[in-house]
Amino acid sequence: MKLTSFLSVATAALLAGCQATYKHTLNFNPAEPIRIAVLPFAQVDSDGKLVREDENLLIDNVGLVSSKQSETPAEYMQSLVQSELSNASLDVITPAIVQADLLHYGFAKPGSNPVTMDLDRVFAATPSEICSKILSCDAVLYGKVTRWDRSYYGLQSVATVAVNLRLVSAKTGKVMYEIDAEDSESRGISKGPTGFSNLALEPIKGLDNEIIQNLAREVADRSISPLSNRSRPEFLKTAPPAIIASGHDAHSGSVSKSGKLTVVAFGSPSQSATFSVGNVALNVPMLERAPGHYIGEYFPLATDSFSKQYVVVAIKDEYGRSTSQRIAKTPVSVQ
């Protein structure tokens, strides 16, 4: 085969692999401001199984070629998706709150130091469990990086990014939105010189991070665009109220009728906070003693008598959005 024919075939094959595909299904009205929790993204192999992320897929140490990045592909893709969600009519829980609450409820890898997320357990948890026991939400968004490839062919370099995003209802368990997105970007014989002086550079480390990062931004933008809404409600410009921690002082679980129950919570400042004890004492007001620090007290009535009732704290903002958290500590009894 002549060299020119070989180059033509090689170029055609490379370009054929650079076509974008974005396939999505939408099963709800995206203008409805439901509250969602974006779970930590994961990287999967060709069989869809979670894999240990190879940090070298994003970190380059090739002099004069690429800048160094500290995030894994999954972490980087999640940050891009979180940013694009600001254009959607969705009430998105602050990422730091999602991370903190998941770790607080035991979703950390056993014995990890520093503490890291157990992604296997995160993806195994049902949306109803996450939204009712851990976070106050209507749906959860799962994100998987299914491809993150950079290949250098001497005459042509190709970067490929593919993700799967799935929004699942906590109430029904049905998929509300899902997209499989894959896109590629080429440099070299089809789009001009690569700019690399040494054709012997390792195939993966021969590409500038900026190329695949820009491609990832495009994938994130187009993946979230079906959820965008120009008439975004005013209240969605702020994050929903959050509860970081809560507790009460009934260490033994028993409150005497002549005593009191003190409940504390730490969360979003300048909000309206209450707590309830089962179905007996409902919406007891809490005072904000310091920014984000709330305290309330319940004094049993002579007629009050109940056993093992959980205490639930709730914080509501000026728009009426409410976040609740059940105190996992010992339930309360008054005899």
Q: What is residue 289's predicted lDDT score, i.e. its pLDDT? A: 94
Mean pLDDT, residues 299-307? 89
Residue spans per domain, the chain: 17-237, 243-334
Nearest alpha-carbon partner for 221 in 265, 161, 278, 135: 161
Strand partners of residue 315:
273, 323
pLDDT beyond 50 at 205: no
Give per-residue pLDDT as tens, 36-73.
Answer: 999 999 999 888 888 875 544 444 444 444 455 568 88
Instruction: Calculate Rg over the CA atoms of the chain.
Output: 25
pLDDT tens track for 259-271: 999 999 999 999 9
Q: Which two tokens stand for residue 323?
A: 């976040």
161, pLDDT greater than 60: yes
Examine the pLDDT at 180 and tell me if it is beyond 90.
yes
Q: Mention every residue, 6+ apart, whose C-beta is less than 8 A from residue 102.
A: 39, 40, 117, 122, 134
| pLDDT surpasses 90 at 168 | yes
Query: Tokens standing for 14?
Result: 């490379």
The mean pLDDT value of the chain amounts to: 81
Who has greater pLDDT, 37 or 156? 37
Right CATH for 17-237 from 3.40.50.1820, 1.10.600.10, 3.30.1330.60, 3.40.50.10610: 3.40.50.10610
pTM above 0.75, yes or no: no
pLDDT tens readout for residues 117-145 = 999 999 999 999 999 888 989 999 999 99
| Residue 155 pLDDT > 70 | no
Q: Is the pLDDT of residue 96 over 70?
A: yes
Q: For residues 300 and 206, which has the higher predicted lDDT (pLDDT)?
A: 300
In the 3-class helix/strand/coil scheme, how is 206-274 assigned residue by residue?
Answer: HCCHHHHHHHHHHHHHHHHHHHECCCCCHHHHCCCCCEEEEEECCCCCECCCCCCEEEEEEECCCCEEE
Q: Under CATH, what is the fold of the domain 243-334?
A: Immunoglobulin-like (2.60.40)
Q: What is the pLDDT of residue 201?
A: 45
pLDDT tens per residue, range 6-41:
344 444 444 444 578 999 999 988 877 799 999 999
